[in-house]
């Protein structure tokens, strides 16, 4: 057996750096905090790679991987069985995730040294990045569902802090608040789900919950509420948390606004790692979903499918390049959810599960790359909008080529990474749910269209007069681009079906030619349409959007979902709940108390005449009282 | 000399010491030294308690001392502590210590101010060590009375009216309480013999159910008023808003916990049968408190009002958890008492410090303070995160323990109430982020606010001491939770005996 206890260092290093940078950072030179943060997460990155090597390759068990819990400390104890631990759990998905998280985090750290240079609060930025990295690693390494929840909340808080990094900008503050509150609302479901689950099973621990064929759920058959079993409720509510973090429809509204944060943050948190936490959560609990709540799993598939389609449609009409990428992220996470939704358990039936994790992996590479590339463009142009860009291929060759690689990857053009993972998802959907297959198939075409619309608008198209000549980013920004570019190009060759599978046993896949060829075809079709419309500046796109009329405007306005939310929160919650309660409290409840006081005062004015100060009157009342009391006592004692 | 007596003697000596000082400098120094000693004693008590329990002392209460001081009515000065009382004493010591430093610049009638403040804390310390109902009540009154002077003299805004409202409502609570306590007293000797106020002795006997049904609601509501039980919470917003900083800290931080602690130690512990039967009424009221307080906080504009409504919500959660009548929820209730005490004291301290600089508490007139006063800004933000239950702070531990306990009931009524209460975590996030966003972030609102003074050493000391406790509990909750769980054993045994 290999001793894996060193893996605790992977999350602990960022934690220590967070604490020290947070407390002392302001006394350091900005660059010092950047270097310490980068080196620290770099060590975590190499440790993760080493862990992955040891876990997947050094112990050639051949048949199956095992769940290993090298560290597990008691944190809070409710009863002898119901306890919260803090620990590290290694299994194929957690090992894959720590590699993804630390890779992207390391790249974002390195890139930010250049991107954030000279920003006010550089040290604060790095301490928050470390906090985020720590929290995210805590989520993926969790040994029990409560640990996931704890770190889940910390991830939300660090996301809040980083979105609101430019805190004197009201729009950034509003976006940060929105992100936190929407995900918090989703986490309410998550929490209630955990509480119900733990009530029925009496444990939080994955080692007990995730055993296939466990008897923990045996007593649950009879429990039902509103026609659904207790476990279905619990798992659906837990998915609500996952949908919030992963920005699934209708809880997706916070993600596009979250682009107010610095661009490396968007790459790290809002593209590659935090937003896939929901996918990770469903994958983590997959045995429970599959065996105990299959209905919820189907529901997850439909939510994912709907989100991926609608987000791809919205992405086609946006002009802010970060928003295009944000909607693209929604759409791609939808793919991962679909894959989980259609997956079975074990062997080839678990193709969807494997494909989902595979796509999570490749998506992290190419989407982080797209964001970092966008960052390097924004860094030199100082604008997020397509109208200010064009012809940049001449000025920024490295950004251009790496960006192109990522575009080809997301469009599913072979041999780039996205091709393999997306193909597996389509194959899995084709096997079990034709409707979802067609939705995802069409979405693939839309994806290719919107991403190349973006690409042509930035790097080709018109050639505006730049005030400052755009320039290529410095080396510490281009190295991450190149690294991720290589990942997006060759990441598809990682043999996921041998590494990350639903039952932790490797299986062999067959090539689905019947799906592969049409999917490449629709990808190329999307590319071709974008080529025609946007490669050279022309008025065709405007004409088409005019033709589409209301269809176009409603898409451009993101189907007015934000406005609906605004209506519900501002009008209904603020004006029809909170304000009346405040009024009620002030006027009715407190008014009553004050009324009691006032009445008391009034009555006392009336009866104060009794205290007239006249001795005869007092004596009379006194004597009369004594006589009456004496009579009463005599009467009650029976002397009559 | 018994050790526990020191918790009353040290404040008394401190007050006498203040009498010999001339003005602010002397008064605050003596208070700081006195309360510093008190804090050291409290920390020592915690470790002493843990070591005694670790050595296998299984007595229900330790360090007990008994003097009969009014034999004809069998009233005793009977003191002793269990883990819960120890935790509450430690909380009080930290809050009053931080409170003294938060009042460092109290220029107006400073000697009188510090004497009243410490007199109030004497009452609180005495309350938590008492095991005799009458002595306990006496200390309770001792804590409530100086409040009137403190708000009426050193307060702000409509201070006389607020002080009057607060005192009258709490006095009404005391009246109910007195009837409740006397009721218990007259049923404390079912088999003949002298009546007693001794809590431990009463807990061993069985008060007739009919009497419990009558006296439980009186006692619970009597204490509940101090715990801002809906709809008797309205003293809290105006009272807190008018009170000077240290008094708000002590009042929301500790005094409201007196109410909750009394509900636990007297109402539920001594009359568990009626508590079980009538819990549903109060579960409804406290569920309303929790959600209603949180919604109430959303629309407020005054920082102190926001915090006062927030306290209504959070203390409502304590009472709610007590009424769940199981070990985990009660553990959570005690944790929440301590956690909320620390957090709200930190909040009020910070509000006082910000008010001292900007001379306004209206959030519409402030903005972007993070840039100007970063230390206080960061502290406020952390306090906000702690208050909305972020992991790593004490609030999370307490709330989660309460929720896990509440979900132990699977019937529809408890489930619905629990879900309603859990949903407050979202509403809390809304009002906290609203304040943080308005007050600290965004652009600076007023020219004059650009040149505010940074935090001074005593302000840093005051807030940091509270924050250390909050983070300490939040990161390593196990020892505190276990201490409380062990001390809950007697009441649980009693409950189980009645329920089966």
Count other Cβ atoms within 10 Å, centred on residue A626: 10
Mean pLDDT of chain B: 86
pLDDT of residue A638: 64
Q: How many residues does chain A have?
A: 640
Q: Which residues contact B198 (CB under 8 A, 6 or more apart)?
A: B76, B78, B131, B132, B133, B188
- A68 SS3 class: strand
Total number of domains constituting chain B: 1
Closest residue to B422, CB basis, from A79, A188, A578: A188
Closest residue to A168, CB basis, from B296, B392, B443: B443
Mean pLDDT of chain A: 85
What average pLDDT score do residues A63-71 get?
83
Which residues in chain A are closer than 8 Å to B407, comparing Cβ atoms? 195-196, 198-199
What are the pLDDT digits (tens) for B54-103? 887 777 788 888 888 888 888 888 888 888 899 999 999 999 988 888 88
- Among A349-353, A383-387, B181-185, B392-396, where is mean pLDDT lowest? A383-387
pLDDT of residue A42: 93
What average pLDDT score do residues A470-481 get?
83
Distance (Å, whole) CA B135 – CA B76: 7
pLDDT above 90 coverage of chain B, percent: 19
| CB contact (8 A) between residue B423 and residue A151 | no
Query: Is the pLDDT score of A640 beyond 60?
Result: no
What are the pLDDT digits (tens) for A85-115? 999 998 889 999 999 999 999 999 999 888 8
Give me A109's structure tokens: 């750290």
What average pLDDT score do residues B313-335 get?
90
pLDDT of residue A303: 92
pLDDT of residue A190: 93
- Residue to substitute from A83, A593, A597, interface B, most B β-carbons within 10 A: A593
B37 vs A: CB within 8 A: no
A247/chain B closest Cα distance in angstroms: 17
What average pLDDT score do residues A352-378 get?
90
Query: Is the pLDDT score of B336 beyond 90?
Result: yes
What average pLDDT score do residues B396-406 get?
92
What are the pLDDT digits (tens) for A493-524? 888 878 888 888 888 777 777 788 888 888 88
Distance (Å, whole) CA B363 – CA B297: 13
What average pLDDT score do residues A460-470 get?
76
Give me B158's structure tokens: 């409509």
Q: How many CB pairs under 8 A join A and B?
A: 124
Closest residue to A191, CB basis, from B296, B397, B422: B422
What are the pLDDT digits (tens) for A34-48? 888 999 999 999 999
The residue range of the domain holding B475 is 3-499
| CB contact (8 A) between residue B296 and residue A82 | no
What are the pLDDT digits (tens) for B199-227? 888 888 888 888 888 889 999 999 988 88
Query: Is the pLDDT score of A568 beyond 80?
Result: no
- Among A1-5, B352-356, B372-376, where is mean pLDDT lowest? A1-5
Which residues in chain B are closer than 8 Å to A593, comparing Cβ atoms? 165, 169, 232, 234-235
pLDDT of residue A151: 93
Which pTM was predicted?
Answer: 0.90
Task: Label residues B173-203 b or e (16+ Cβ within 10 Å = b).
Answer: bbebbbebbbbbbebbeeeeeeebbbbbebb
Query: Is the pLDDT score of A223 beyond 70?
Result: no
Chain-centroid distance, C-alpha A11: 19
Phi, psi of A184 (to 5 degrees): -65, -40
pLDDT of residue B340: 92
pLDDT of residue B157: 77
Distance (Å, whole) CA B21 – CA B28: 9
Distance (Å, whole) CA B166 – CA B175: 14
B328 vs A: CB within 8 A: yes
| E-state strands within A31-164 | 68-77, 83-90
Query: Is the pLDDT score of A224 beyond 90?
Result: no
A282/chain B closest Cα distance in angstroms: 22
pLDDT of residue B500: 58
Nearest CA among B407, B394, B416, B216 for reference residue B326: B407
């Amino acid at each position: 057996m290999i001793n894996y206890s060193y893996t605790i260092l992977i999350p602990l290093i960022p934690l220590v750096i967070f604490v020290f940078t947070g407390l002392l950072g302001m006394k350091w030179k900005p660059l010092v905090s950047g270097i310490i943060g980068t080196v620290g997460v770099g060590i975590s990155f190499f440790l993760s790679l080493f862990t992955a090597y040891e876990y997947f390759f050094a112990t050639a068990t051949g048949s199956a991987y095992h769940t290993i819990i090298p560290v597990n400390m008691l944190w809070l104890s409710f009863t002898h069985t119901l306890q919260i631990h803090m620990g590290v759990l290694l299994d194929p998905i957690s090992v894959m995730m720590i590699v993804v998280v630390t890779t992207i985090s390391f790249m974002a750290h390195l890139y930010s040294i250049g991107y954030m240079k000279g920003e006010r609060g550089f040290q604060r930025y790095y301490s928050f990045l470390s906090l985020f990295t720590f929290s995210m690693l805590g989520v993926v390494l969790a040994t029990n569902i409560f640990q996931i929840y704890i770190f889940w909340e910390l991830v939300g808080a660090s996301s809040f802090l980083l979105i609101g990094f430019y805190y004197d900008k009201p729009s950034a503050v509003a976006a940060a608040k929105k992100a936190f509150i929407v995900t918090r609302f989703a986490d309410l479901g998550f929490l209630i789900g955990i509480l119900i689950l733990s009530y029925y099973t009496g444990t939080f621990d994955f080692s007990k919950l995730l055993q296939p064929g466990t008897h923990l759920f045996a007593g649950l058959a009879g429990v039902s509420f509103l026609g659904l079993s207790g476990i279905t409720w619990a798992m659906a509510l837990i998915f609500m948390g996952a949908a919030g973090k992963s920005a699934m429809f209708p809880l997706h509204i916070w993600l596009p606004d979250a682009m107010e944060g610095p661009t490396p943050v968007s790459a790290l948190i809002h593209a590659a790692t935090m937003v896939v936490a929901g996918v990770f959560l469903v994958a983590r609990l997959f045995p429970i979903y599959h065996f105990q709540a299959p209905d919820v799993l189907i529901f997850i598939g439909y939510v994912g499918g709907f989100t991926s389609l609608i987000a791809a449609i919205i992405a086609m009409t946006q002009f802010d390049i970060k928003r295009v990428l944000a909607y693209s992220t929604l759409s791609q996470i939808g793919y991962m959810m679909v894959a989980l939704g259609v997956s079975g358990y074990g062997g080839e039936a678990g193709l969807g599960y494997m494909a989902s994790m595979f796509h999570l992996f490749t998506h992290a590479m190419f989407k982080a790359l797209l964001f970092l590339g966008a960052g390097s463009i924004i860094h030199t142009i100082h604008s997020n909008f397509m109208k200010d860009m064009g012809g940049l291929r001449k000025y920024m060759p490295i950004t251009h080529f790496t960006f192109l690689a990522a575009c080809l990857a997301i469009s599913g053009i072979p041999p780039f990474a996205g091709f393999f993972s997306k193909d597996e998802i389509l194959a899995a959907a084709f096997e079990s749910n034709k409707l979802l297959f067609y939705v995802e198939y069409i979405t693939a075409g839309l994806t290719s269209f919107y991403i190349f619309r973006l690409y042509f608008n930035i790097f080709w198209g018109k050639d505006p007069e730049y005030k400052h000549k755009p320039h290529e980013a410095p080396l510490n920004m281009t190295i991450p681009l190149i690294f991720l570019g290589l990942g997006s190009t060759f990441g598809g060759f990682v043999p996921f079906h041998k590494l990350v599978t639903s039952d932790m046993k490797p299986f062999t896949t067959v090539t689905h030619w019947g799906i592969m060829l049409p999917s490449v075809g629709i990808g190329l079709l999307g590319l071709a349409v974008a080529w025609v419309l946007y490669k050279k500046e022309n008025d065709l796109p405007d004409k088409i959007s005019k033709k589409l009329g209301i269809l176009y405007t409603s898409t451009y306005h993101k189907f007015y979902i934000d406005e609906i939310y605004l209506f519900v929160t501002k009008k209904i919650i603020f004006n029809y709940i909170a304000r009346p309660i405040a009024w009620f409290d002030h006027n009715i409840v407190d008014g009553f108390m004050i009324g009691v006081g006032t009445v008391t005062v009034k009555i006392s004015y009336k009866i104060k005449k009794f205290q007239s100060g006249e001795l005869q009157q007092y004596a009379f009342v006194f004597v009369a009282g004594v006589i009456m009391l004496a009579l009463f006592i005599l009467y009650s004692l029976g002397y009559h | 000399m018994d050790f526990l007596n020191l918790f009353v003697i040290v404040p008394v000596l401190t007050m006498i010491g203040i009498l010999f000082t001339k003005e602010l400098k002397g008064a605050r120094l003596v208070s700081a030294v006195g309360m510093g000693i008190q804090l050291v004693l409290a920390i020592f008590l915690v470790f002493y308690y843990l070591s005694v329990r670790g050595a296998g002392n299984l007595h229900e209460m330790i360090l007990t001392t008994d003097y009969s001081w009014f034999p004809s009515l069998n009233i005793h000065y009977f003191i002793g502590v269990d883990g819960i009382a120890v935790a509450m004493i430690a909380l009080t010591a930290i809050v009053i210590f931080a409170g003294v430093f938060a009042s460092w610049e109290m220029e107006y009638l400073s000697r009188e101010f510090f004497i009243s403040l410490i007199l109030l804390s004497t009452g609180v310390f005495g309350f938590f060590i008492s095991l005799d109902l009458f002595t306990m009540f006496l200390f309770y009154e001792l804590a409530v009375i100086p409040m009137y002077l403190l708000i009426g003299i050193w307060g702000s805004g409509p201070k006389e009216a607020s002080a009057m409202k607060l005192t009258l409502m709490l006095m009404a609570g005391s009246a109910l309480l007195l009837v409740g306590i006397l009721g218990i007293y007259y049923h404390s000797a079912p088999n003949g013999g002298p009546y007693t106020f001794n809590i431990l002795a009463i807990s061993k006997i069985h008060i007739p159910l009919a009497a419990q049904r009558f006296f439980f609601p009186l006692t619970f509501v009597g204490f509940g008023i101090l715990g801002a039980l809906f709809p008797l919470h309205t003293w809290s917003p105006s009272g807190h808003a008018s009170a000077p900083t240290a008094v708000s800290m002590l009042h929301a931080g500790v005094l409201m916990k007196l109410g909750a602690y009394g509900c636990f130690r007297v109402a539920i512990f001594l009359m568990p049968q009626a508590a079980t039967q009538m819990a549903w009424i109060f579960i409804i009221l406290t569920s309303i408190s929790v959600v209603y307080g949180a919604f109430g906080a959303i629309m407020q504009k005054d920082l102190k009002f926001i915090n006062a409504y927030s306290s209504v919500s959070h203390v409502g959660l304590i009472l709610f958890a007590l009424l769940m009548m199981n070990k985990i929820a009660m553990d959570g209730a005690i944790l929440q008492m301590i956690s909320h005490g620390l957090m709200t004291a930190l909040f009020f301290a910070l509000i006082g410090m910000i008010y001292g600089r900007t001379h306004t508490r209206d959030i519409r007139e402030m903005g972007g303070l993070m840039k100007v006063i970063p230390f206080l800004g960061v502290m406020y933000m952390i306090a906000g995160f702690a208050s909305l239950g972020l992991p790593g702070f004490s609030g999370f531990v307490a709330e989660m323990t309460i929720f896990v306990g509440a979900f132990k009931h699977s019937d529809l009524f408890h489930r619905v109430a629990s879900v309603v209460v859990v949903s407050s975590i979202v509403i809390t996030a809304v009002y906290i982020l609203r304040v943080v966003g308005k007050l600290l972030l965004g652009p600076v609102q007023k020219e004059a606010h650009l040149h505010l003074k940074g935090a001074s050493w005593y302000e840093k000391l005051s807030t940091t001491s509270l924050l250390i406790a909050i983070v300490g509990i939040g990161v390593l909750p196990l020892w505190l939770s276990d201490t409380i769980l062990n001390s809950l054993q007697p009441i649980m045994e009693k409950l189980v005996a009645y329920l089966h």
